[in-house]
Amino acid sequence: MASVNKVILVGNLGRDPEVRYQPDGFNVANISLATTSVWKDRNTGDRREETEWHRVVFYNRQAEIVGQYLRKGSSIYVEGRLRTRKYIDNNNIERYTTEIVAETMQMLGGRGNTGDAEFAGGGQYQQGNYPNNAGVSSGARANYPQDGGFSSNTPAPSAYGRGVSSPQPTMPPNGTQPTSPAPHTNPAPQSPAATIPSANNAPRPAAPKAADAGLADLGEDIPF
């Protein structure tokens, strides 16, 4: 079955850090971190506080940063794990202590934080890793969309409601310029030529017929 050994603390240093610098770079820093619980007494209604002290140990690069930037009263956030070890005190007596081995530390802003203003209220440090930019956390960076937030793939507006557009001329292949057709002209109507009869072809009047000889004779006998 899996197990978890995880400690998260937010508190203030009770005194300046104790740092031991080693020639081989294996540095150790110890702090006493105070966390305070506040509640209200149900019987008297008075405000009560209870302070717990925690021994926190830092190694290597973290130990250097703690010794350089933390002071008594500094407010920090710590993540780590519990460890119990034994040691021999000054009286040569074997003793046991339980401490927190820090894995992540972040300095919090506020009164009591001293040191370089560049580090006040920002830096986050992890055990065994050298933080970028001397351990300063740059914080979240805002991502602005390019081109002012407008996409270059915006579809063209619809032609709906614009009316009927006139057709565009089609370009012929090979880059030649289109030739406009010659205008069609209707031939002018020709009036029929007037036919003038020739004098030789003019109809001649028929010659009067000779009077019937009999009628001529009868005409003398008709009374008037």
Over residues 110-140, the pLDDT tens digits come to 554 554 433 433 456 666 543 333 333 333 3
* 42 token code pair: 């149900």
Structure confidence at residue 186 (pLDDT): 58
CB contact at 8 A, 79 and 103: yes
Given a contact cutoff of 8 angstroms between Cβ atoms, the answer to whether 33 and 56 are in contact is yes
The reply to whether 26 falls in a domain is yes
The 10s digit of each residue's pLDDT in 84-110 is 999 999 999 999 999 999 999 999 975
Domain count of the fold of the chain: 1
- Spatial separation of the C-alpha atoms in residues 71 and 176, rounded to whole Å: 84
Q: Is residue 210 part of a domain?
A: no
| 175 occurs within a structural domain | no
Look at residue 190 and tell me if it is in a domain: no
**Structure confidence by residue, pLDDT tens digits, 2-29:** 899 999 999 999 999 999 988 887 899 9
3-state secondary structure of 148: helix
Please write the tens of the pLDDT for every residue from 149-167: 334 444 444 444 444 444 5
Q: Determine the average pLDDT of the residues in 23-49.
A: 92
CATH of the domain at 13: 2.40.50.140
Containing domain of residue 39, as a range? 7-133
Distances from the Cα of 213 to the Cαs of 9, 207, 218, in angstroms? 167, 17, 9
Q: Give the residue, 18 or 200, on which the prediction is more confident.
A: 18
pLDDT recorded at residue 223: 47
Q: Flag whether 172 is in a domain.
A: no
Using the structure block, give the residue that is written with the tokens 């998260």: 8
Whether 54 is covered by a domain: the verdict is yes
166-197: per-residue pLDDT in tens? 455 555 555 555 555 555 555 555 555 445 45
Asked if residue 103 belongs to a domain, the reply is: yes
Lowest mean pLDDT among 60-64, 200-204, 209-213: 209-213
On whether residue 138 sits in a domain, the answer given is no
| Amino acid present at 91 | N
